[in-house]
Amino acid sequence: MSVLWVLGAGQLGAMLKQAGTPLGIDVRPVDIESTDTLALQPTDIVTAEREEWPETVATKQLATHNNFVNLSTFPQLADRLTQKQWLDRLELATAPWFPVEADSTATTAHKTLGERVLLKRRRGGYDGKGQYWLKQSENIDIPEDWKGYAIAEQAINFDEEVSIVGVRGRDGETHFYPLTLNLHINGILYASISPLERLKPLQNKAEAMLSKLMDALDYVGVMAMECFRVGDDLLINELAPRVHNSGHWTQAGASVCQFENHVRAVTGLPLAVAEIKNQSMMVNLIGVDLDYQWLNIQDLELYWYKKEVRPGRKVGHLNFCSGNLELLQTALAALKLPAPYPEALDWLAQNLP
Ligand code: ATP
Ligand code: MG
Ligand code: MG
C-alpha cells in the first residue's frame, strides 16, 4: 500500500494520520523543517495541511512528487489577491475589495470601501494575524510596508459567520457537511456549532458556491469556505484548500469526519456521505493549560495538540456531541475557562436549539 505524505506536521496532519489508521493508510506528516531524505515512492500520494510553505529540504522533496494532489491550487488560494480574483471571475460574492498598491491611500480606500476598511496581508495571515484596520475617524494611513503586499476589504456588518466544509473526489463527486456557525473573537475562532435548523435554508446556496469553486479548480479533497451571513446572502470571507478548524466537530458529530473524507478523496477511495449523529459543538483551546478534569464532563472529547502553551495560540479543542441538549448546556456550565471564554460558552448556550 502506498503512503500518504502530508506537507506539515501540526495538529491537522496529526488528525489526518489518526483518520487514516482505520483505513489501513499509512499517513506520514512531514515537518517542513525536516532535513531527512524522505522515502518517497512513485505511487505515493502527497497532500498538505497548510496552504503555503517555504522552500526547504522537506517541502522541495514533496512538491516535486508527481502525485501532489491540488499542487497548482495552493499558490492561487494562499495569496488573497489571486483568491479574490478567482471568486470575482466565478461571480461568487465577497466583501468589496481592491489590491493595495504603491499609490493606494487611505483616502481612496475610504472613498471606495467606506468608513471602515480592513487591510489583510496577501500571504501568511491566520487567526486574524496580518490584519490592519483603517478607520476614517482615526485618520490612519496605509503603512508603507503593506503597499503591494495586501488587499483592502470593506468591513462587513455581518449578522453572523458561517462556514461549510465540502469534499470532492477525483471523478468530481461532491459531498458537504451541514453549515457551521462560528464565533471569532479578535479574528480567532473560539467556538463552532452545527447542525442548526435555522441555517438549513442557506445550505443549498453554500453548497452551490463551494461546488462551483471546487469544480473550476478541479479540486480533490476537503475544502472549507468561510462566509459572512448578511440577511439571506452569503459573502465568502476566505477559502481554505484543506481540512479546517470549523470542521473539527465532525470528529464527534459525523459518521465520517472531514479528516477521513480528505484521506479518502486524495487517495482515490470512495467518499462517504457522512451521517450527522446529533447536535455538535466545538470549543477551541487557545492559550489555556491542559486540564484532565475536563474529562469528567459528559459527552466531551478532548484533542490536545501537545504544543507549548502561549497566549493566543491554539493548543487543542473540545468536541461535544449529544442528542440531549440539556446535557450540552450542563457541559457548557461545567467548563471553567478564563476570559474571553465566558463570552464564547454563553454564545454556544444561546445558539443551542
Ligand atoms: P483564519 O484563522 O480563519 O485563517 P485569517 O487570519 O485568515 O483567519 P480572516 O478569516 O480573513 O483571517 O479574518 C478573521 C476574522 O476577522 C473573520 O473571521 C472575521 O471575524 C473578521 N473579518 C475578516 N474580514 C472581515 C471583514 N471584511 N469585515 C468584518 N470582519 C472581518
Ligand atoms: Mg485564513
Ligand atoms: Mg478565516
Q: Which atom of ligand 1 is nearest to the CA of 182?
A: 18
ipTM: 0.98
Nearest CA to ligand 1 atom 9: 128
Domain 96-154, CATH homologous superfamily name and number: ATP-grasp fold, A domain (3.30.1490.20)
Handedness of CA 261, 265, 270, 271 (dihedral sign): positive
Q: Is 196 in the pocket of ligand 1 (CB under 6 A)?
A: no
CATH fit for domain 160-351, picks 3.40.630.30, 3.40.50.1370, 3.30.470.20, 3.40.50.261: 3.30.470.20
pLDDT digits (tens, 9 = 90+) for 301-347: 999 999 999 999 999 999 999 999 999 999 999 999 999 999 999 99
Residue 252: per-residue pLDDT: 98
User: Which parts of the chain register pLDDT below 70?
Assistant: 1
Assess if CATH 3.40.640.10 describes domain 3-68.
no
Q: Are 321 and 249 in contact (CB under 8 A)?
A: yes
3-state secondary structure 165-230: EEEECCCCCEEECCCEEEEEECCEEEEEEECCHHHHHHHHHHHHHHHHHHHHCCCCEEEEEEEEEE
Cα 130 to middle of ligand 2, angstroms? 10
Nearest CA to ligand 1 atom 26: 155
Nearest CA to ligand 1 atom 27: 155
Residue 139: per-residue pLDDT: 86
Mutate which of 237, 314, 343 for ligand 1? The one with the most ligand atoms within 8 Å of its CB, which is 237
Q: Is 126 in the pocket of ligand 1 (CB under 6 A)?
A: yes
Helix H or strand E segment including 103:
none
Nearest CA to ligand 1 atom 16: 187
Q: Is 96 in the pocket of ligand 1 (CB under 6 A)?
A: no
Q: Is 47 in the pocket of ligand 1 (CB under 6 A)?
A: no
Residue 173: per-residue pLDDT: 98
Mutate which of 238, 246, 286 for ligand 1? The one with the most ligand atoms within 8 Å of its CB, which is 238
Nearest 5°: phi and psi at 256?
-130, 125
3-state secondary structure 112-144: HHCCEEEEEECCCCCCCCCEEEEEHHHCCCCCH
DSSP structure class, residue 36 = P
Residue 1: per-residue pLDDT: 67
Residue 123: per-residue pLDDT: 96
Q: Is 239 in the pocket of ligand 1 (CB under 6 A)?
A: no
Q: Give start-end residues of each CATH 3.30.470.20 domain in the chain.
A: 160-351
Residue 127: per-residue pLDDT: 86
Q: Give start-end residues of each CATH 3.30.1490.20 domain in the chain.
A: 96-154
Residue 206: per-residue pLDDT: 98
Cα 151 to middle of ligand 1, angstroms? 13
User: Long-range CB contacts (< 8 A, 24+ apart) of 330-334?
Assistant: 330/298, 331/297, 331/298, 331/299, 331/300, 332/281, 334/296, 334/297
Q: Give start-end residues of each CATH 3.40.50.20 domain in the chain.
A: 3-68
Give 49: exposed, middle or buried? Use CB within 10 Å, 0-12, 13-18, 19+.
buried
Q: Rounded to whole angstroms, how far apart are CA atoms 35 and 32?
A: 8
Residues with CB under 5 A from ligand 3 (ion): 226, 238
Instruction: Report the interhelical angle of 341-351 vs 325-334 (nearest 10°).
Output: 170
Continuous H helices in 268-340: 325-334
> Which residue, among 281, 303, 284, has the nearest Cα to 341 in the 3D structure?
284
Q: Is 95 in the pocket of ligand 1 (CB under 6 A)?
A: yes
Instruction: Report the interhelical angle of 258-267 vs 11-20 (nearest 10°).
Output: 70
